[in-house]
Amino acid sequence: MASPLDLEEQEQLDELKHFWKRWGDLITWLLIAVLGGYAAWIGWQSYTAKQSTQAAALYDTVERSAIGGDIALLDRSVGDIKDKFASTTYAQQAALLAARVYNDRDRKADAKVQLSWVIDKASDEGYQALARLRLAALLVEDKAFDEARKQLTAKTPEAFAPLMSDRLGDLAMLQAQPAEAVQHYKNAWKGFEPNAEYRRLVAVKLAALGADPEEAAALESKK
């Protein structure tokens, strides 16, 4: 037969009962909230992993159809990946790839649609900037210069600033604005790394306009 609780043990038991009576419900709800949040986090991780896997498989279809020239399949697969997995980088890459293929196939209107989708929907600012550059090039071909300038002057990551400036210089030249072109090219030249091949190309453009970027940089450094 079990021995009866001594006085100290009885007091501890009474304190525990009192504590649990007072705080038990709160502790229970806190545990439910914590466990519920953990379960939701695990569920979200599982969902995003599944989404990423499915999007990757569909992107593979987009890529294979682009390489193989199966345009009908490309149309379907790029539409599917944008509809079902718009938030993934795979969808943004697929739209950029489709735009390039459409442009090569002289489907420029469709190429613009894909690029505009990336600009509007992409979560990655780098993809958005790349889409703006490509869309601006198509708009320049159509002589839609004002629309092209809007794309090239939109807010983009700093890494894309030199490329945007270079294209703005090209646009200014097309509009017979050499002084403005020189300023844009200078901005581009300053923005590129010293050993960048593209910087040399910009320097050639400046030289053709009678401007020396090295001299301009030296003068600015003395101010």
Look at residue 83 and tell me if it is in a domain.
yes
Look at residue 40 and tell me if it is in a domain.
no
| DSSP one-letter string for 92-105 | HHHHHHHHHHHHHT
Look at residue 212 and tell me if it is in a domain.
yes
Lookup: tokens for 119 = 């600009």
pLDDT of residue 157: 93
Q: Does residue 145 contact residue 168 with C-beta atoms inside 8 Å?
A: no
Average pLDDT, integer, range 152-158: 94
- How many CB atoms neighbour CB 138 within 10 A? 19
Enclosing H/E stretch for 127: helix 125-141
pLDDT tens-place string over residues 160-218: 999 999 999 999 999 999 999 999 999 999 999 988 898 999 999 999 998 887 765 55
Q: Which of 110, 144, 178 is the last residue of a domain?
A: 144
Give the E-state strand segments of 2-117 in sequence order.
Answer: none
pLDDT of residue 11: 66
Range of the domain at 204: 157-223
Domain count, the chain: 2
Answer yes or no: do 83 and 125 share one domain: yes
Taking 50 as the threshold, does the pLDDT of residue 118 lie above it?
Answer: yes
pLDDT of residue 219: 43
Residue 62 to residues 10, 81, 95, 110, Cα–Cα distance (Å): 73, 9, 9, 15
Average pLDDT, integer, range 95-109: 95
Look at residue 100 and tell me if it is in a domain.
yes
Look at residue 22 and tell me if it is in a domain.
no
* 24-28, 67-71, 131-135, 165-169: range with lowest mean pLDDT: 24-28
Look at residue 122 and tell me if it is in a domain.
yes
Q: Which of 112, 144, 176 is the last residue of a domain?
A: 144
pTM, two decimals, is 0.73
- At 177 the three-state DSSP class reads coil
Answer yes or no: do 67 and 134 share one domain: yes
Look at residue 87 and tell me if it is in a domain.
yes
